[in-house]
Amino acid sequence: MINVDISNVWGECSLNDLLGLEKEVFEAHKMLIERKGPGNDYLGWLDLPSFEATDEMRRIVSAAKRIREHSEVFVVVGIGGSYLGPRAAIELVKGQNHNLRGRDPQIFFAGNNLSTRAWQELCALLEGKDFSINIISKSGTTTEPAIATRALKWMLERKYGADEAKKRIFVTTDPAKGALRQIATEEGYESFVIPPDVGGRYSVLTAVGLLPLAVAGMDITELMFGAAAAKRDLGAFSFENPAWLYAAARNLLYRNGKKLEILCNWEPSARLFGGWWQQLFGESEGKDGKGIFPVTAEFTADLHSLGQMIQQGERNLFETVIRFVPPRKRTMIEMDWKNLDGLNYLEGKSLDFVEEQAFQGTLAAHVDGGVPVILVQADEVCDRTLGELFYFFELSCGISAYMLGVNPFNQPGVEFYKRNMFQLLGKPGYEIKQ
Ligand code: PA5
């Protein structure tokens, strides 16, 4: 169960200030679940968590079983939510080096950049390997995944022939609309659905996340169970609800001049989870001249880089720190007879004990330095905890964005760079008028 501790924000705002927001949080939460706010046709993610496996989940598990049997590598093609969700989930639970373990198919990602080097590296990694691909795009028209798809499809057809290639191409897209749906139908690819009322950054609990996770050997039923438990637990309309505390505290801090939020992870494997969070909050809130700028940091590594800035730079930031319960199996620090490094004072202490002291020391230093800290405490890293975290942050983001007065479910600003790029590339319909 997720717990939010805001006892380290009181240097910057008061309990009265927070309680003064009660009506606003209430209205925002109500607007969300009654589907009465802006963007209310994109609230399908509220209904995704489920204690029971759905037909779509059963189809996903069956496809994943086949893929695991015939593929050494699974390439997930997508960008934005179609990339960050699955990658964040796999890395958090299985570790950043999951591809070196050798037990499950390797999972590579493509279509999330336009880098020639990255593409050529992927081609080299696929050399001589049996592989399948999962093309994920809600719109079906996004440039980066579309370019990668075209090339990967050719690679598969050359390697296996058209008929066998078909069995190795899996599509996740809108059920009826878009180029990718048309491709899947015409070519006869097995396909999965991103419901029309679920936007990219809220889609990780659809086939977008579930198929790659299942191929990676994760338990998607547990993941969904965690999300469903979070949905049940985060239903309260009071400050006992951790999502209320998080949404209210960050809005209060923002109004008090804290324009930057750093999501601090103490688990290296949560780095990409930070990326997922960054997209969720950044694209949902950054509009109409408003929004907390979301950045991420990995501690203790970034204490040796960003730490200085956090401690003594401009006082315009706050931290949200995610803490997981440490693994039950302890790693102990051993005695060294020579003690040349002077570390014998740690003999017999566990690594997580040292980490906890580093965390407490950092917390005290940052709070003393004028950086308010919101603590998000989660259980041990596992599929279920991950499901809880996904739903917790999605709900908090919806509430928070409504408090900010923006539509969390659109991203009109993203179109500007695309228009310029299409003009420069000469895409039909985007010609520069002389
Ligand atoms: O949150 C969003 O909707 C976007 O960031 C999308 O995830 C991203 O642009 C990719 O879009 P699509 O899935 O249509 O390819």
pLDDT, tens only, 18-63? 999 999 999 999 999 999 999 999 999 999 999 999 999 999 999 9
Annotated catalytic residue 231: no
Verdict on whether the full-model pTM lies above 0.85: yes
Q: Establish whether domains 3-36+225-404 and 46-218 are of one fold.
A: yes
Query: Atom of ligand 1 at shortest distance to CA of 414?
Result: 9
- The answer to whether the CB of 284 falls within 8 A of the CB of 401 is yes
Could you give phi then psi for residue 265, rounded to 5 degrees?
-105, 140
Q: Name which of 249, 324, 198, 174 is nearest 9 in CA terms.
A: 249
Query: Atom of ligand 1 at shortest distance to CA of 142?
Result: 15
Q: How far is the CA of 124 from the centre of ligand 1 (A)?
A: 28
Strands (E), 57-159: 73-77, 106-110, 131-136
pLDDT of residue 161: 98
For residue 432, name the pLDDT band (cuts at 50, 70, 90).
Answer: confident
- The answer to whether the CB of 362 falls within 8 A of the CB of 306 is no
Q: 79 in ligand 1 pocket by Cβ < 6 Å?
A: yes
Query: Atom of ligand 1 at shortest distance to CA of 178?
Result: 14
Given 23, 69, 304, 334, which residue is catalytic? 304
pLDDT of residue 254: 98
d(CA 135, CA 212) in angstroms, rounded, equals 11
Q: What is the mean pLDDT of the chain?
A: 97
Q: List the CATH code of the domain at 3-36+225-404.
A: 3.40.50.10490
DSSP secondary structure code for residue 325 in this structure: P
Other C-beta atoms closer than 10 Å to the C-beta of 190 total 18
Could you give phi then psi for residue 389, rounded to 5 degrees?
-65, -40
Annotated catalytic residue 52: no
Q: What percent of the chain has pLDDT over 70?
A: 100
Comparing 103 with 274, the larger pLDDT belongs to: 274
Q: How far is the CA of 186 from the centre of ligand 1 (A)?
A: 23
Could you give phi then psi for residue 380, rounded to 5 degrees?
-60, 150
Q: Is the pLDDT of residue 188 over 90?
A: yes
Helix axes 383-404 and 220-233, enclosed angle (nearest 10):
40
Q: 230 in ligand 1 pocket by Cβ < 6 Å?
A: no
Q: Is the pLDDT of residue 170 over 90?
A: yes
Q: Name which of 265, 294, 326 is nearest 404 in CA terms.
A: 294
d(CA 409, CA 322) in angstroms, rounded, equals 25
For residue 300, whether the previous peptide bond is cis, meaning omega lies within 30 degrees of 0, is yes
Tokens 């930031």 correspond to 317
Strands (E), 59-205: 73-77, 106-110, 131-136, 169-173, 190-193
- The answer to whether the CB of 83 falls within 8 A of the CB of 109 is yes
How does pLDDT run across 301-353, given as a tens digit for each residue? 999 999 999 999 999 999 999 999 999 999 999 999 999 999 999 999 999 99
- The domains of the chain are located at 3-36+225-404, 46-218
Q: How far is the CA of 282 from the centre of ligand 1 (A)?
A: 13
- The answer to whether the CB of 173 falls within 8 A of the CB of 140 is yes
pLDDT of residue 11: 87
Strands (E), 70-126: 73-77, 106-110
Q: Is the pLDDT of residue 434 over 80?
A: no
How does pLDDT run across 377-405, given as a tens digit for each residue? 999 999 999 999 999 999 999 999 999 99
Q: Is the pLDDT of residue 373 over 80?
A: yes
Identify the CATH assignment for 46-218 out of 3.40.50.300, 3.40.50.10490, 3.30.365.10, 3.20.20.60.
3.40.50.10490
d(CA 431, CA 419) in angstroms, rounded, equals 10
Contacts 24+ apart (CB under 8 A), 13-19: 13/252, 13/253, 13/256, 13/372, 17/252, 18/239, 18/248, 18/249, 18/252, 19/239
- The answer to whether the CB of 194 falls within 8 A of the CB of 174 is yes
How far are the Cα atoms of 109, 129, 133, 145, 180 from residue 190, in angstroms, in the given order?
Answer: 19, 21, 11, 18, 12
Query: Which residues, 6+ apart, have CB-to-CB distance to 226 below 8 Å?
Result: 383, 384, 385, 386, 387, 388, 389, 391
Q: How far is the CA of 411 from the centre of ligand 1 (A)?
A: 9
For residue 433, name the pLDDT band (cuts at 50, 70, 90).
Answer: confident
How does pLDDT run across 69-124, given as a tens digit for each residue? 999 999 999 999 999 999 999 999 999 999 999 889 999 999 999 999 999 999 99
Alpha helices in 207-343 (DSSP H): 207-215, 220-233, 242-255, 271-285, 306-312
d(CA 288, CA 353) in angstroms, rounded, equals 45
Nearest C-alpha to atom 2 of ligand 1 is from which residue? 200
Q: 269 in ligand 1 pocket by Cβ < 6 Å?
A: no
The pair of three-digit structure tokens given for residue 123, joined into one six-digit string: 């081609």
Annotated catalytic residue 222: no
Q: 81 in ligand 1 pocket by Cβ < 6 Å?
A: yes
d(CA 391, CA 382) in angstroms, rounded, equals 15
d(CA 65, CA 61) in angstroms, rounded, equals 6
